[in-house]
Amino acid sequence: MNTSRKGFRHLFGVILSLLLFFTFSATPALAATSQIIYQGSTSNKVVALTFDDGSDGYYIQSILNTLSANNVKATFFLTGHGAENHPQAIKNIVAAGHDIGNHSYNHPYFTAISTTEMTNQLNLTETIITNLTGKSTKPFFRAPYGSYNSTVLQTVGNAGYTYTFQWTIDTLDWTGNSATDIYNRVINNVVPGAIVLMHAGYGANGTTTALPNMIDQLRAMGYSFVTLSQLMNTTSTPGTGSGTNYTVQAGDTLYAIALRYGVTVQAIVNANGITNANLIRVGQVLTIPGTDTPTTPTTPTTPTTGTSYTVKAGDTLYAIALRYGVTVQAIVTANGIANANLIRVGQVLTIPGTSTPTTPTTPTTPTTGTTYTVKAGDTLYAIALRYGVTVQAIVTANNIANANLISIGQVLTIPGTGTPTTPTTPTTGTSYTVKAGDTLYAIALRYGVTITQLVNANGITNPNLIRVGQVLIIP
Residue 382, domain CATH = 3.10.350.10
Residue 350 has pLDDT above 50, yes or no: yes
Q: Output 366 or 285, whichever has higher pLDDT.
A: 285
Q: pLDDT band at residue 349, thresholds of 50, 70 and 90? A: confident
Tens digit of each residue's pLDDT (9 = 90 or more) over 284-308: 777 787 654 444 444 333 343 458 8
DSSP 399: T
At 326 the three-state DSSP class reads: coil
- 89 and 133 share one domain: yes
Q: What is the dihedral of CA 83, 89, 93, 95, to 10 degrees?
A: 110
- 118 and 96 share one domain: yes
Residue 403 has pLDDT above 70, yes or no: no
- 251 and 327 share one domain: no
In a domain, 409, yes or no: yes
252 is catalytic: no
Q: How many residues does the chain have?
A: 475
Question: In the chain, how many domains are there?
Answer: 5
- 103 and 166 share one domain: yes
Residue 247 has pLDDT above 70, yes or no: yes
- 140 and 189 share one domain: yes
- 320 and 436 share one domain: no
Please tell me the distance from the alpha carbon of residue 163 to that of residue 125, in angstroms, as a whole number.
17
Q: Check whether the bond before 139 is cis (ω within 30° of 0).
A: yes
Per cent of the chain over pLDDT 90 is 36
86 is catalytic: no
- 228 and 170 share one domain: yes
Q: pLDDT band at residue 409, thresholds of 50, 70 and 90? A: confident
* DSSP one-letter string for 237-256: --SSS-EEEEE--TT--HHH
Q: Check whether the bond before 28 is cis (ω within 30° of 0).
A: no
* Mean pLDDT calculated for residue range 432-446: 73
In a domain, 333, yes or no: yes
* Mean pLDDT calculated for residue range 404-423: 67
In a domain, 15, yes or no: no
Residue 21 buriedness (CB in 10 A; 0-12 / 13-18 / 19+): exposed
In a domain, 13, yes or no: no
- 324 and 282 share one domain: no
In a domain, 1, yes or no: no
Half-sphere exposure of 439 (CA within 13 A, CB side): 19
Per the prediction, the chain carries an average pLDDT of: 78
Please tell me the distance from the alpha carbon of residue 280 to that of residue 418, in angstroms, as a whole number.
37
Tens digit of each residue's pLDDT (9 = 90 or more) over 173-215: 988 999 999 999 999 999 999 999 999 998 899 999 999 999 9
| β-pairing verdict for 140-141 and 348-351 | unpaired
Domain of 78, CATH number, reads 3.20.20.370
Q: Output 358 or 324, whichever has higher pLDDT.
A: 324
In a domain, 335, yes or no: yes
- 99 and 140 share one domain: yes
Domain extent at residue 143: 35-232
Residue 115 has pLDDT above 60, yes or no: yes
Least confident of 16-20, 21-25, 383-387: 21-25
Query: 170, 199, 315, 378: which is the annotated catalytic residue?
Result: 199
* Mean pLDDT calculated for residue range 455-468: 74
- 223 and 333 share one domain: no
Query: 10, 52, 86, 181: which is the annotated catalytic residue?
Result: 52
In a domain, 14, yes or no: no
Q: Output 139 or 363, whichever has higher pLDDT.
A: 139
Q: Output 67 or 369, whichever has higher pLDDT.
A: 67
Please tell me the distance from the alpha carbon of residue 155 to that of residue 149, in angstroms, as a whole number.
10
87-95 vs 115-133: helix axis angle to the nearest 10? 70
- 375 and 343 share one domain: no
- 331 and 183 share one domain: no
Please tell me the distance from the alpha carbon of residue 358 to that of residue 325, in angstroms, as a whole number.
6
In a domain, 29, yes or no: no
